[in-house]
A and B are shown apart, each in its own frame.
Chain A
Amino acid sequence: MTNLSSRRHHHGSRMPPATLIGESLRRLHPRSLARNPVMAVVAIGTLVCLLYTLLSFIDGDGQTAFTLIVSLILLATLLFANAAEAVAEARGKAHAGSLRATRGELRARRLIAGVEEDIDAGQLRRGDRVRVAAGELIPADGEIVEGAGSINESAVTGESAPVLREAGTDNSGVSAGTKLLSDDIVVEVSVDPGESLLDQMIALVEGASRQKTPSELALSVLLATLTLIFVIVVVSLVPMAHFTGASTSIVMLVALLVCLIPTTIGGLLPAIGIAGMERAMRANLVARSGKAVEIAGSIDTLLLDKTGTITLGDRRATEFAPCPGIDRTRLRDIAALCSLADPTPEGRSIVALARELGAHPQAPEQAEVVAFSAATRVSGLDFSDGRQWRKGAPNAIAAMVQQQGGRLPPDFDGLVERISRDGATPLAVAEGSVLLGVIALSDVIKQGIAERFAQLREVGVRTVMVTGDNPITAAAIAAEAGVDDYIAEATPERKLELIRSEQAGGRLVAMMGDGTNDAPALAQADLGLAMNSGTQAAREAANMVDLDSDPGKLLNAVEIGKQLLITRGALTTFSLANDIAKYFAILPAIFAAGIPALAALDVLDLHSPRSAVLSAVIFNALVIPALIPFALRGVRFRAVSASAMLRRNLLLYGLGGVLLPFPAIKAIDLVVGLFF
């Protein structure tokens, strides 16, 4: 697989400053402010301060400069929050936009009653059939219904090696904008205009139309509540102060309010959500909704296909094990000859191993190739003289041998079992009624996969390997790869059953699939990840699609989901913890005139009341741009236990959030104090 993070050429693209400012200003529109109650309160506060600036200017009371500066800082707070969202959105759109650009103006040859009609691809509707010839671009997302062809998907995945897509298989899905390299195919369009994967990707990162994820929604409720509490706190302060005889300044109270409400997280929350989607997209994962990305973080059980995830896609022959009395070279040669016509990687690896061991196989002339079929589970050669060479599943070969009057060697079962126990797949070879021996096909476990499972175990995720292998082979591979559990001889029904039973135990389950018969399980799983190469049914049942069709992607999805949630939690904690220091800066300043004794609370020894208030609001505003890179990048994910992670994040963002503002506000005050 290619390196995900370095592939995207537009990664890290920068917005021109003028565009950024324009975008930030445009989002001051009341309609977009209304989406975010925290920032709406800041906006109202800004207007109040501007009004007081005007009044003060008319009165000429000497407060104008101070009031104006407070207003401008509050305005800057708003703009910083808008800029955060704009930057995140621009990055997300840049990705989707570059995909759209490569797609260009697509044309389609729509088939109506066998007649071709040349139309704009934008007019295609779900169910339409289009013909695509070699060298043409696929006009819409869909499924091959006729023919097969090799396709360059680099426009979508960034991977330029061509892939085979074929009608009627589990690899029949094609995406708009990819290029057909060979052959002639007919594609059935699966989406209406505006519903393609690309459109979905764009919707996830577009601030105005973006749907909030469930935990983002709950967090927004909490932030709105906190904002309301601080409005009550500050508004009730007016009559209370009046009662005690202390005068208050409305501008200072607005400054206090803006400092107390959670502007940091309120301003960065949309950016965090968009950046989370963008991170998923950069990993070539397209979520049908933001919810899917979030759920990925809470997954308890991962159902992983053995092939492609745990082992390299192909098994390789590693041993020729003859039955007693059979010459090893005879087994080697016949196995190699039987495999010459076998185009599968397994077949090629048998030939390769035989060559390595000294064989020089030449295709026999008077022989007819018997292709592998799922019904017989054997393949081989039929010679004109009636000889039959076969290789295939041990029990199928054994049955064939017995049927032809042959006898099984006494330790054949032991041989098969020994190979299975080593984690290899046994393939028996027979010549007519004589059983020659067994070929061992071994799985090659991916490098580093065991460490990755250990990390997942550390964060509490259970891994279950799913394989069609027999139980003995499966157990050996499971042990070597370090998964927590496995299901052998898996069928789609057994997968579905397992998902249901895990869910009944309260666990959230993720799985990946590509075939039509995976569709029910993909729909049942809490996170169903379909390969983009998969069938239309699989892609529709899933709530996330992997453009790379890489079975290992589930692990990325879990990390991206966790990162998104941790970033939200960390910044909320930080934002609230900051309030303590702000109280110590502002409260003595507000009542400095009315209750001079409160100066004892001014632990920072700030220069003057005005300087104290300005320093606090400046700090409050600057925190937002300072944390934008953090919000976009996300908290670094670490594979540690929940308790260790909580301890670390509490110390960093909780305690850090309490302490950091004290020196920061003091430092700002040293500068501001020169003027106020």
Chain B
Amino acid sequence: MTIILLIYVLLAVLAVPLGLYMGRALDSRHTSRFDRFFAPLESGLMRLAGIDAQASMSWSSYALALIKLNLLLILLAWLVFMAQGVLPLNPDRIAGMNWSTALHTAVSFVTNTDQQHYSGQAQLSYLSQTLAIVTLQFLSPATGLAVLLAIARTLLRRGDGTTAGNSSGQHGVGNYYVDLVRIVIRVLLPLSLVVALLLVWQGVPASWQGAQSVTMLDGGTTQIIPRGPVAPMVAIKQLGTNGGGWYGPNSSVPLENPDLLSNVIETLAIMLIPVASLVAVGVISGRRRLMIGIGAVMVALSLISTTLVMVSERGPNSALQGVAIAGSHNMEGKELRFGSDLSALWGSWTTQTSNGSVNAMHDSFNPLGGMTLLMDMFVNVAFGGVGVGLIGYLLYLMLAAFMGSLMIGRAPELFGKPLETREIRWISLAILAQPLLILGLSAITVSFPSLTGNSNPGFHGLSQVLYEYTSAFANNGSGFEGLADASTWWNLTCVVALLIGRFLPMLVPLAVAGWLAGKRTAPAGRGSLALDSGPFLALSVGTIVIVNLLGFMPALVLGPIAEQLTAG
């Protein structure tokens, strides 16, 4: 208990200075003292790629550049995974992936999800793990953060609210490539270096040599211990809300997460950048009070979820009720070296942030614990994924602003800019996509049990299916497992959920920011909606709760709630 609170405090202590640094180092509108250090490297890269770093893009060209690069990355990664058998850096002679799993893997990593329908150490070569996977683990969080920066510079920016228009007459939101490179070089690489070294210090492998054969203590048997450049990958896996580990069982494996200290470091790394992003946006946009308000809402949501999971997992395993071995805490699927609290904390943080790495089996959590993880992913904004967490919150904020404006007797507006039918139509679509894909795909999948390959029938089986699609749409990547999920059906349906779940909620707020930039801005006053006021924050929380509760309550009742109530 104490250690949990200590980790929350430690997180704040680390994230605030990091956020202040990010705010200054990433704000492309001003030169900062960090430029002297990074600029030569960055401008070299820009020249090499032939990119005009000065050109500010309209929201639509920013989005188009983003989509093009992401499609290209999907294509490249797909090819690498299928061809890895004949490519170099493959000491363990691992064969190429089948096309659908390879496509799913490529999309999964480009969308910052890292949902894995394979087992990393056994099915990916070193080339695939490093060149494809790790590259994407850097670029995908950078993309999310880049879009957040673009929104922070336009929609959120306090002041005249207008930015210089470009030649096409649209308002500039920044340069995607510049943002991407700056984020990778100024934030992700240095942080990963520090975390990787700390993990190596704790014994996580970092080697280019192939698997090691070890003779066991009984003298007779030998075991193959897979290894590789694990520590650097684990660092960015945690920091970039990626979640896809080197080993199949992720950070529950001692080689990926050896001890208590490494566990605390990896846990902190999950939340670090999402929290710091809020501080950074406060610096860049000048809306400190609003960011503090949003931060307070996010902390509250996070604490509620973490507490629920902890309480749930401190209870005995519900499946073993009445059996003598049940024990006091639910330790099934958990590592003894972490215990139930640290597993619960990791589980709730990894689902709050769309990270998706695990140090315990979520499938084995008690039903209400597992349900809380599901709800974390529905909400997906308790700090949320790198960049996209706050962007997702903005989507709720826009809905709340619409309702709030009406309730104070003004035509709907956001930051003093009118929210009209065009904006509401797209915001509605982004909100609609979540139940449509998660419930729709789950309903189709359970209608054809031959497709699902469920290990469990009944309520828990439904939870597993629901979790898989929720994890895909939320770009989380963790799984309840227990599904034969490397099938063509699972791979392709998840690809759809991954892509729409990634790009729609990310690009709609960007588009709204772009559209609103060209509109009048009413000055804030007594009669306007104060987005940082207590009543409005309450309305935002209400919006988040209502949208998710109303959409998913029946499914949760049939899944985890029925499972809990019928247990024992």
- Nearest 3 CB-CB pairs, A to B? A460-B527, A569-B406, A562-B409
- Does any Cβ of B come within 8 Å of A58's Cβ? no
| Contacts A/B (CB < 8 Å), 15 sampled | A215-B406, A243-B446, A243-B461, A244-B562, A297-B409, A460-B525, A460-B526, A506-B521, A566-B407, A569-B403, A587-B553, A591-B558, A595-B565, A642-B408, A642-B526
Whether the pair A579, B550 counts as a contact (CB closer than 8 A) is yes
Q: Mark A580-598, 1 if CB is under 8 A from B, else 0.
A: 1001000100010001011
Contact residue range for chain A? Answer: 35 or more
User: Is A237 a contact of B562 with CB atoms below 8 Å?
Assistant: no
- In the complex, A24 Cα to B321 Cα: how many Å? 58
CA–CA, A562 and B462, complex, Å: 47
- Interfacial chain B residues near A568, Cβ < 8 Å: 406
Q: How far is the CA of A637 from the CA of B458 in the complex (A)?
A: 53
Q: A217-B421, A572-B403, A598-B562 are known contacts. Are A228 and B432 too (CB-CB below 8 A)?
A: yes
In the bound assembly, the distance between CA atoms of A242 and B459 in angstroms comes to 11
Is B88 interfacial (CB-CB < 8 Å)? Answer: no
Bound: A222/B555 CA distance, A: 23
Give, as a whole number of angstroms, the nearest-CB distance from A424 to chain B: 33
- B557 interface residue per 8 A CB criterion: yes
Other A-B pairs, 11, CB within 8 Å; known A601-B557, A642-B526, A650-B407: A219-B406, A232-B435, A297-B411, A457-B526, A570-B407, A576-B550, A591-B557, A595-B558, A641-B527, A646-B407, A653-B407
Q: Determine the residue in chain B with the shortest Cβ distance to A596.
A: B566
Asked if A245 lies at the interface with its beta carbon under 8 angstroms from chain B, I say yes
CA distance A563 to B550 in the complex (A): 29
Looking at the complex, which of B217-225, B371-379, B488-496, B528-536 is the stretch in contact with chain A? B528-536
Query: Once bound together, how far apart are the Cα atoms of A503 and B523, in whole Å?
Result: 11
Q: Which of B19-27, B62-70, B232-240, B436-444 contacts A (4 or more CB under 8 A)?
A: B436-444
Q: Which residues of B contact A (CB under 8 A)?
A: 161, 399, 402-413, 416, 419-421, 423-425, 428-429, 431-432, 435-436, 439-440, 442-444, 446-447, 449, 458-459, 461-462, 520-523, 525-530, 533-536, 538-539, 542, 546, 549-555, 557-559, 561-562, 565-566
Measured between beta carbons, the chain A residues less than 8 angstroms from B535 are: 643, 646-647, 650
Cβ contacts under 8 Å, B439 to chain A? 232-233, 236
Cβ–Cβ contact B411 & A237, under 8 A: no
Q: Which residues of B contact A239 (CB under 8 A)?
A: 443-444, 446-447
Known A297-B410, A646-B408: A236·B443 in contact at CB below 8 Å: yes
Residues of chain A contacted by B525 (CB below 8 angstroms) = 300, 460
Residue contact B562 to A506, C-beta cutoff 8 Å: no
Verify A215–B411 contact, CB threshold 8 A. yes
Inter-chain contacts of A597 with B (CB < 8 A): 562, 565-566
In chain B, what residue has the closest Cβ to A461?
B527
Q: Which residue of A lies closest to B545 (CB)?
A: A580
B416 nearest in chain A by CB position: A506
Residues of A contacting B523 in the complex (Cβ-Cβ under 8 angstroms): 300, 505-507
Q: Does A351 contact B (CB under 8 A)?
A: no
Q: Decide if B442 touches A240 in the complex (CB within 8 Å).
A: yes
* Cβ-defined contact, A576 with B546, below 8 A: yes
Interface of B (DSSP majority class): helix
Does the CB pair A642–B528 fall under 8 Å? yes
| Cα A650 to Cα B404 with chains together (Å) | 9
Which residue on chain A has the smallest CB distance to residue B463? A244
Task: Establish whether residues B557 and A566, one from each chain, have CB atoms under 8 Å apart when the complex forms.
Answer: no
Q: Which residues of B lie under 8 Å from residue A660 when comparing CB positions?
A: none
**Are B554 and A298 interface neighbours, CB within 8 A?**
no
Is A324 in contact with chain B by the CB < 8 A criterion? no
Task: Judge if A458 is at the interface, Cβ distance under 8 Å.
Answer: yes
Q: A459-B527, A506-B522, A642-B526 are in contact. Are A240 and B558 (CB under 8 A)?
A: yes
Q: Shortest beta-carbon distance, B40 to chain A, in Å? A: 41
Inter-chain CA distance A221–B428, complex, in Å, is: 8
Cβ B526 vs Cβ A236 within 8 A: no
Q: Does A218 contact B (CB under 8 A)?
A: yes
Chain B residues with CB under 8 Å of A600's CB are 565
Q: How far is the CA of A294 from the CA of B405 in the complex (A)?
A: 12
Task: Tell me, in angstroms, the Cα distance from A649 to B546 when the chains sit together.
Answer: 17
Provided the pairs A217-B421, A565-B410 are in contact, do residues A650 and B530 lie with their beta carbons within 8 angstroms? Answer: no
User: How far does the alpha carbon of A100 sit from the alpha carbon of B228 in the complex, in Å?
Assistant: 88
Closest to A241 in B: B558
Q: Which residues of B contact A230 (CB under 8 A)?
A: 550
A371 on the B face (CB < 8 A): no
Q: Is the interface of A mostly helix, strand, loop or mixed?
A: helix
Question: Which residues of the partner chain B approach A637 to less than 8 Å between Cβ atoms?
Answer: 409
One digit per residue, 1 when the CB lies within 8 angstroms of any chain B CB and 0 when it does not, for chain A 558-574 equals 00011101101110110
Residues of chain A within 8 A (CB-CB) of B458 are 243-245
Q: Is the C-beta of A393 less than 8 angstroms from some C-beta in chain B?
A: no
- The answer to whether A595 and B562 have CB atoms under 8 Å apart is yes
A591 to chain B, nearest CB (A): 7
Residues of B within 8 A of A228 (CB): 432
A246 at the interface (CB under 8 A from B): yes
Would you call A508 an interface residue if the criterion is a C-beta within 8 Å of the partner chain's C-beta atoms? yes
CB-defined contacts of B443 to chain A, threshold 8 Å: 235-236, 238-240
Q: Contact at A566–B406, with CB atoms within 8 Å?
A: yes
Q: Which residue of chain A lies nearest to B444 when distances are taken between CB atoms in the complex?
A: A239
Known: A221-B428, A232-B435. A240 touches B526 (CB 8 A): no
Residues in chain A near residue B411, CB distance under 8 A: 214-215, 294-295, 297-298, 565
Contacts of A300 in B (CB 8 A): 522-523, 525, 527
Q: A641-B527, A642-B529, A645-B407 are in contact. Are A236 and B555 (CB under 8 A)?
A: yes
Contact of A643 among B447, B522, B530, B552 (CB under 8 A): B530
CA distance A219 to B428 in the complex (A): 10
A229 at the interface (CB under 8 A from B): yes
- Tell me, in angstroms, the Cα distance from A645 to B529 when the chains sit together: 10
**Which of chain B's residues have a CB closer than 8 A to the CB of A562?**
409-410
In the assembled complex, the CB of B565 is this many whole angstroms from the nearest CB of chain A, namely 4
Determine if A225 is an interface residue (Cβ-Cβ < 8 Å).
Answer: yes
* Residues of chain B lying within 8 A (CB to CB) of residue A214: 411, 420-421
Q: A642's closest neighbor in chain B, by CB?
A: B408
Question: Are the CB atoms of A598 and B526 closer together than 8 Å?
Answer: no
Q: Is the CB of A240 within 8 A of B435?
A: no
Least CB distance, B444 to chain A, in whole angstroms: 8
Residue of A nearest to B555 (CB): A240
Distance in angstroms between the alpha carbons of A596 and B148 in the assembled complex: 47
A561-B411 Cα distance, complex, nearest whole Å: 9
Any chain B CB within 8 A of the CB of A577? Answer: yes
Residues of A within 8 A of B559 (CB): 244
**Which residues of A have CB within 8 Å of B432?**
225, 228-229
When distances are taken between beta carbons in the complex, the residues of chain B under 8 Å from A240 are: 442-443, 446, 462, 554-555, 558
Chain A residues whose C-beta falls within 8 Å of the C-beta of B542 in the assembled complex: 650, 654
Query: Would you call A260 an interface residue if the criterion is a C-beta within 8 Å of the partner chain's C-beta atoms?
Result: yes
Task: For B534, list chain A residues within 8 Å (CB).
Answer: 643, 647
Nearest A residue to B431 via CB reads A225
Cβ–Cβ < 8 Å partners of A506 in chain B:
161, 416, 520-523
In the complex, the answer to whether A218 meets B402 with C-beta atoms within 8 Å is yes
* A568 to B424 CA separation, bound complex (whole angstroms): 16
A631-660 near B? 1/0 per residue, CB < 8 Å: 000000100011101110110011000000
CB distance from B203 to the nearest CB of A (A): 44
Which residues A186-201 have CB closer than 8 A to chain B?
A: none
Pair A569/B442 contact, Cβ less than 8 Å: no
CA distance A641 to B533 in the complex (A): 12
Complex CA distance for A577 and B446, rounded to whole angstroms: 31
A641 with B554, Cβ < 8 A, contacts A222-B424, A503-B520 known = no
Contact A237 B554 (CB under 8 A): yes
Contact of A646 among B429, B459, B536, B565 (CB under 8 A): B536
Contact A573 B407 (CB under 8 A): yes
Q: Is the CB of A577 within 8 A of B546?
A: yes
What is the distance, in angstroms, from B465's C-beta to the closest C-beta of chain A? 8
Kindly report which residue of chain A lies nearest to residue B436, judged by CB atoms: A232
Residue contact B425 to A221, C-beta cutoff 8 Å: yes
**Contact check: which of A229, A241, A297, A646 meets B551 at CB < 8 Å?**
A229
- The CA-CA distance from A258 to B439 in the complex, in Å, is 19
Residue on B with the closest CB to A291?
B411
